[in-house]
Amino acid sequence: MPNPIYILGISCYYHDSGIALMKDGEVIFAAQEERYTRKKHDEALPKKAVEQALMFAGITIDDISAVGFYEKPLLKFFDRILYTYFKAWPRGLITYHRAMQEWMTKKLWIPHNIKKELKYNGPMYYVTHHESHAASSYYVSGFSDAAIVTVDGVGEWATTTIGYGRGNEMKLTKEIHFPHSLGLLYSAITYYLGFKVNSAEYKVMGLAPYGEPKYMRQMRELINVKDDGSFALNMKYFTFETGLTMTGKEIEKLFGQPTRKGEGMAMTQFHKDVARSLQEITDEVMLKIAKHAKKLHPSENLCLAGGVALNCVANGKILRSGLYKNIFIQPAAGDAGGALGVALAIWHRIYNGARTKKMEHAYLGNEYTNDEIESFLKSQNVPYERLDDHQLIDKVSSLLSGENAEPRVADSRSEDAGAWVIGWFQGRMEFGPRALGNRSIIADARNKENWQKVNLKIKFRESFRPFAPTVLEERVSDYFDLDRESPYMLIVADTLPGKRSEIPAVTHVDGSARIQTINRNQNPRYYDLIKAFENKTGCAVIINTSFNVRGEPIVESPKDALNCFLHTHMDYLVLGNFILSKKKMGQADEATQKEYLSKFELD
């Protein structure tokens, strides 16, 4: 038999570095570097993720047939970076020096660094940034044909593209170029509202329902949008071409208020209204782009990728428009997913491989056996209970419903029944920014108190942040205005009016929810847990939020999970078939808790 073809895709050196490993056209492992380094949005060359991928496959770097990088760095540097600085010279001198240091010492040496750091001597291939995004969605969509739309901050030059896929062929046919960027507009307003760029854009999306679109005139001053979805930013208001910030004095004049300086400045109705206005213009632009894509490349199917494709509100608007019968959004739609895209592009273009199967789930990372977990727990000398599969599902579903639990640890938390919060650590780690039931914090969606409890006592984050529901796939239309699967938590739909009082902890202030559906083929244990909860309560919905605290990457290992559990007010931790109780272990004191939280930079 011929040797297997292993293709390693890499994205790094901007934010959210990641890798994807394919074997003979099948994606077998994918992960972000942040999970291993514990540095959120880590941009470094993903050495640790590569090590884990090779270990998972049982191979060495010498078995890799090809390595792909998710963009073309020389084109990006010599064509766009230098042109942009020279065009604005001498403005931006400080940022020019910083950029030159970054490029001359690291980014221009990507082939050298990969070969040296990974000890790799085989062929390397490069695919443009937005082609990587497009490939990451189309080739695993399961569609035989599709219109393709990619939208993000910027790649080499492109910020937005339209294209098509037919069989194994994929081509981008229209582009919008830097500095005109919907992603950078969203990031600029994120900065103006006092949040961290390339990290907290999703907060702005969550804040928007608290506001009204009172600043649409200002938004239309910032961005000129045409009927075909093409647009141009009014660069008078943006400083990201040459400055150290995204915006400056001009945008403050436009909105009549200064830039919010993080959490040192109060969040007011003004900020909520700006967020809502930004979301409205984003929805409008994305809908027009999707409409024009269908005109250029008629299809019943749409593939979305790029950082803006993580905006599940806009995704929901496109779905409800009826433009397309089917929409596929790759779960790691941002830069980490570029690693998957370049690997897929190499398989189809260089190796002329058979069409890749549909991505049915995102559980593509590490897994820990019960023996490994128990060995770790013994080394930590912590009390635990081991249950068989049936006992585990029965007990945890009972705990979710508020039953069969010892009294809480004495603290300031609510004593309401059904408010037990559980760290749930199972199976293979998810790829992408969303926890999808293997590295999750879960709770009863029927208990309204859980919204604030999980935000303030466990996640230590802003109280306005919403939580996503996980719902049994066959019951989704019983609770939400959605008639299809949403396995990656990337579509927002309304909670049905008659159900909003039943699941208040996952219904946002505007009556919407960011939905994850689950079927048993995707994740048997998580499905069985929710099914058992439904059998006990009649409710087929639970809260699912990522297993971490604010500023911390999602937990990767039992060690990460135990640390997070001990330093928050979670009630129970489930690691594989093992249950740990906070009552039996005790709560970390306030000083220890603060020390733990201080390790993670706020977003």
pLDDT at 414 over 60: no
Q: Give a yes or no: residue 344 inside a domain.
A: yes
Same domain? 479 vs 564: yes
Determine the average pLDDT of the residues in 448-470.
88
Better-scored residue on pLDDT, 170 or 418? 170
Q: How far is Cα 230 from Cα 286, in angstroms, rounded to an integer?
A: 10
Q: How far is Cα 452 from Cα 347, in angstroms, rounded to an integer?
A: 46
Same domain? 414 vs 444: yes
Same domain? 411 vs 519: yes
Q: Where are the beta strands (DSSP E) in 331-413?
A: 385-386
**At 415, is the pLDDT very low, low, confident or very high (cuts 50, 70, 90)?**
very low
- In eight-state DSSP terms, residue 406 is P
Report pLDDT for 398.
96
**At 110, is the pLDDT very low, low, confident or very high (cuts 50, 70, 90)?**
confident
Same domain? 394 vs 322: no
Report pLDDT for 451.
86
Question: What is the share, in percent, of the chain residues with pLDDT greater than 70?
Answer: 91
**At 75, is the pLDDT very low, low, confident or very high (cuts 50, 70, 90)?**
low
Q: Give a yes or no: residue 354 inside a domain.
A: no
Q: Give a yes or no: residue 159 inside a domain.
A: no
Same domain? 291 vs 321: yes
Assign residue 64 the CATH number of its domain: 3.30.420.40
Same domain? 218 vs 270: yes
pLDDT at 360 over 90: yes
Per the structure, the complete domain to which residue 444 belongs is given by: 370-597
Q: Give a yes or no: residue 44 inside a domain.
A: yes
Which domain-ending residue is among 301, 329, 357?
A: 329
Report pLDDT for 84.
62
Q: Give a yes or no: residue 402 inside a domain.
A: yes
Q: Give a yes or no: residue 144 inside a domain.
A: no
Same domain? 87 vs 201: no
pLDDT at 90 over 80: no
Same domain? 456 vs 572: yes
> What would the pLDDT profile of 276-296 be if each residue is shown by its tens digit?
999 999 999 999 999 999 999
Same domain? 300 vs 341: no
Determine the average pLDDT of the residues in 25-54.
97
Assign residue 589 the CATH number of its domain: 3.90.870.20
Question: What is the share, in percent, of the chain residues with pLDDT greater than 90?
Answer: 80
Q: How far is Cα 165 from Cα 302, in angstroms, rounded to an integer?
A: 10
> What would the pLDDT profile of 544-571 be if each residue is shown by its tens digit?
999 999 999 999 999 999 999 999 999 9
Lowest-confidence segment of 24-28, 405-409, 521-525, 553-557 by average pLDDT:
405-409
Same domain? 232 vs 307: yes
Q: Give a yes or no: residue 297 inside a domain.
A: yes
Report pLDDT for 413.
40
Quote the mean pLDDT of the chain: 92
Report pLDDT for 452.
85
Q: Give the total number of structural domains in the chain.
A: 3
Same domain? 226 vs 313: yes
Beta strands 421-425 and 439-444, pairing class: antiparallel
Q: Give a yes or no: residue 151 inside a domain.
A: no
Tallying the residues shown for the chain, one arrives at 603
Same domain? 97 vs 229: no
Report pLDDT for 471.
98
The candidate with the shortest Cα–Cα distance to 216, out of 276, 288, 299, 306, is 276
Please answer whether residues 570 and 422 qualify as being in contact, where contact means their C-beta atoms are separated by less than 8 angstroms.
Answer: yes
Report pLDDT for 441.
97
Q: Dihedral sign, CA of 25, 31, 33, 37?
A: negative
Lowest-confidence segment of 57-61, 242-246, 425-429 by average pLDDT:
242-246
Question: Of 82-96, 257-271, 578-592, which has the strongest mean pLDDT?
Answer: 257-271
